[in-house]
């Protein structure tokens, strides 16, 4: 098991006291592709950050169990966490315009990651960075390496981000809405790239998104979250047999070319769903 988490709760201070945004979440991830699906505010991003203990300041969290392989993350000190992050787990964020450092070139940022975890000279790091960019199916890696993030398109930026996170050869990659800021065509390319890389490197992948069909196509197992709680866990192929009313509601809302309808249904809050 790469990651095991049990009874994770995250809360943040609101006007009326502490509000739970992640409630009693438990799951595990192995060398597989796990998808976490939910609306905005369902707590999926915060769950991902909590796994790496990268919650924003001011948040409170607790869990009964949080392990990465043999490392107990509950009791790990800052030094151990720093060793874990990057080297064994990578994190890809949504929008490279904000998640990449604006005043460093793409190549510098990838090389930095490479050098931090593998050591070596600057020249080695730079050629490793260019090689990684080539693995991202970028035609002219030297030009991209010398470019600043604001000079790159969304798709290129995300490839840089992925290259940067894969540089230390981690065992697991967490991708938080990696394609939500991209055009549809570019989305497909990036996801196929991720599939390919993860398969070739024998890594685990946690893919977080609000896009249910996309997750079902690129993951082996799916977790559905709503209002901070997990409501369903199904294998990707078994979506049709999903039992929870929320999941079924989501599935019913998907437009279909095979069964066109005049009016799409919308989700309505009924009793039986967790209160928000």
- Residues binding other proteins (CB under 8 A): 49, 52, 54, 78, 82-87, 90-91, 93, 95, 98-104, 112-113, 116-117, 148, 150, 161, 164-165, 168
CB of 138 to other proteins, least distance (A): 19
Which residue's CB is nearer to other proteins, number 76 or number 267? 76
Distance of closest approach, residue 90 Cβ to other proteins, in angstroms: 7
Q: Based on CB atoms, which residue is closest to other proteins, 97 or 201? A: 97
Shortest spacing between CB 233 and other proteins, in angstroms: 26
Q: Which CB, 48 or 250, lies closer to other proteins?
A: 48
The answer for residues whose C-beta is within 8 angstroms of residue 237's C-beta and 6 or more apart is none
**For residues 62 and 53, what is the distance between their CA atoms, to the nearest angstrom?**
11
Write the DSSP symbol of residue 64. S
Query: Judged by CB, which is closer to other proteins: 102, or 272?
Result: 102
176 closest CA partner among 207, 153, 138:
207
Tokens of 33: 């592709």
Q: Which is nearer to other proteins, 105 or 209 (CB)?
A: 105
End-to-end CA distance of the chain: 32
Give kind and range of the element (H or E) at residue 190: helix 184-201
CB 215 within 8 A of CB 45: no
- Give the Cα separation of 123 and 247 in Å (integer): 51
Q: CB of residue 211 vs other proteins: minimum separation in angstroms?
A: 21
Q: How far is 257 from 276, CA to CA, in rounded Å?
A: 33
| Least separation in angstroms between CB 256 and other proteins | 36
Phi/psi of residue 25, nearest 5 degrees: -95, 130
Q: Which is nearer to other proteins, 42 or 99 (CB)?
A: 99
Residue 55 DSSP symbol: P
Angle, CA 205 vertex, CA 136 and CA 242 arms, to 5°: 130
| Least Cβ distance, residue 55 to other proteins (angstroms) | 10
Nearer to other proteins, 103 or 185 (CB): 103
Mapped onto helix, strand or coil, the DSSP state of residue 43 is coil
Smallest distance, other proteins to C-beta of residue 80, A:
11
Could you give phi then psi for residue 59, rounded to 5 degrees? -85, 145
């Amino acid at each position: 098991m790469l990651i095991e988490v049990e009874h994770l709760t995250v809360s943040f201070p609101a006007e009326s006291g502490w509000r739970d945004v992640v409630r009693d979440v438990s799951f595990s991830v192995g060398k597989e592709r796990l998808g976490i699906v939910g609306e905005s505010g369902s707590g999926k991003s915060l769950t991902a950050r909590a796994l790496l203990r990268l919650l924003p300041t001011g948040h409170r969290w607790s869990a009964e169990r949080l392990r990465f392989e043999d490392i107990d993350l509950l009791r790990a000190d800052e030094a151990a966490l720093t060793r874990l992050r990057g080297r064994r787990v990578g994190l890809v964020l949504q929008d490279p315009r904000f998640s990449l450092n604006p005043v460093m070139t793409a190549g510098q940022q990838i090389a930095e990651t490479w050098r931090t975890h593998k050591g070596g000279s600057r020249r080695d790091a730079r050629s490793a960075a260019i090689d990684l960019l080539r693995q991202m199916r970028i035609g002219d890696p030297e030009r991209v390496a010398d470019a600043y993030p604001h000079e790159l398109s969304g798709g290129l930026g995300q490839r840089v981000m992925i290259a940067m996170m894969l540089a230390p050869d981690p065992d697991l990659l967490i991708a938080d809405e990696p394609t939500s800021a991209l055009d549809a065509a570019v989305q497909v390319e990036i996801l196929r790239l991720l599939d390919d890389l993860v398969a070739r490197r024998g890594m685990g992948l946690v893919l977080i998104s609000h896009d249910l069909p996309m997750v079902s196509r690129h993951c082996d197992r799916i977790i559905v979250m709503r209002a901070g709680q997990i409501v369903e866990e199904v294998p990707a192929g078994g979506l049709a047999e999903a039992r929870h009313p929320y999941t079924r509601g989501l599935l019913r809302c998907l437009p279909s070319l095979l069964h066109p309808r005049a009016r799409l249904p919308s989700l309505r809050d009924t009793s039986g769903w967790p209160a928000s």
